[in-house]
Structure 1
């Protein structure tokens, strides 16, 4: 299967999740054009892209790449909660690799989202190919229970993912 066809195939498995990821990417493209482009944290070599958005346990989750950050993002609407946490609050979600703590925010026009920052700013990425590969590897690692032990530091709370250990494991694994 060609990479383009493989990507299309992955998207068609979760059309609603993929569509939501694209809607979020469009909102960030608008922000990039209106307010971020002239700021010193904007990496001109990168663009906005939604990576791997999928349905998982009643939520939509994926990676968002922008010229100023790379985040794991989830939509706050789900089948399990009655009222979403307020913007600025934290939300702990469990993944196969462990728990991560998201920060809740409001994002027009998509509504309430929760984000977990992996990189900000994005100057260590020279082009979209490397940013995309890192996002895909991080998302795959987050969804893999085999990465639970590698993502925990010696002082990490029970199932919480330590960001540095998680990223080192993902990046070391990808380069090895």
Structure 2
């Protein structure tokens, strides 16, 4: 009998990535509950949520939303934690939109990760629904080649305003006059 992973690799990979994202979210929930809740940069209107975690080039990538930050997070490539030269050392990773700088870290339930900040602090976000939409848009841009704009939401004209330069700077929409 063939294991499900071999018969249905895409479904299994998607499930594994989603489960990994949920374990990571659990780790951040614990941190939020124990340490962050009373700090002034904690947005009490938001909660911790793993958005769109999926397989990517042998790893897992998605967006982690917390009441303190929104980061692109990837499971750290093998050996990343050991090869870093210090807590501030960066890791440059390639995505369809281009290369991004990530910072290695470790989160208890999943081990080594690498993250790139999109927003911090989160005071500009009023609710989880709009925060989730921004996280999904950021992930769509990340996974779209530079010459092919994200088209996951055909009824969202604001996506046309997102470009790689602004995404990499943490600004999702370019202001045009």
Common fold, TM-score beyond 0.5?
Answer: yes
2:104 aligns to what? Answer: 104
Q: 1:111-142, CA deviations, whole angstroms, 9 ceiling, x for partnerless residues?
A: 11101000001010000001000000000011
Secondary structure of 1:30's match? helix
Contact 2:13/2:55 (8 A) holds in 1 = no
Q: Which residue of structure 1 lines up, in the alignment, with residue 128 of structure 2?
A: 128
Contact 1:52 1:139 in 2 (8 A): yes
| CA separation of 1:117 and 1:11: change in aligned 2, threshold 3 A | farther
In 1, Cα distance between equivalents of 2:124 and 2:168: 20
Gapped runs of 5+ residues in structure 1?
A: 1-9, 154-160
Q: Following superposition of structure 1 onto structure 2, how do residues 1-176 of structure 1 map, counting pairs within 5 Å?
A: 14-78=14-78, 84-85=83-84, 87-145=87-145, 146-147=148-149, 150-152=163-165, 162-164=168-170, 167-168=172-173
**Gaps in structure 2 of 5+ consecutive residues:** 1-9, 151-161
Cα distance, 1:48 vs. partner?
Answer: 0.2
Q: Of the two, which has the highest radius of gyration?
A: 2
What is the TM-score when the length of structure 1 is the normalising length?
A: 0.77
Q: Distance in 1 between matches of 2:80 and 2:117?
A: 23
Q: How many residues align?
A: 152
Q: Distance in 1 between matches of 2:116 and 2:128?
A: 20
Does the 8 A contact of 2:17 with 2:60 survive in 1? yes
Measured in 2, the distance between the counterparts of 1:164 and 1:83 equals 28
* Whole-Å separation in 1 of the counterparts to 2:90 and 2:80: 14
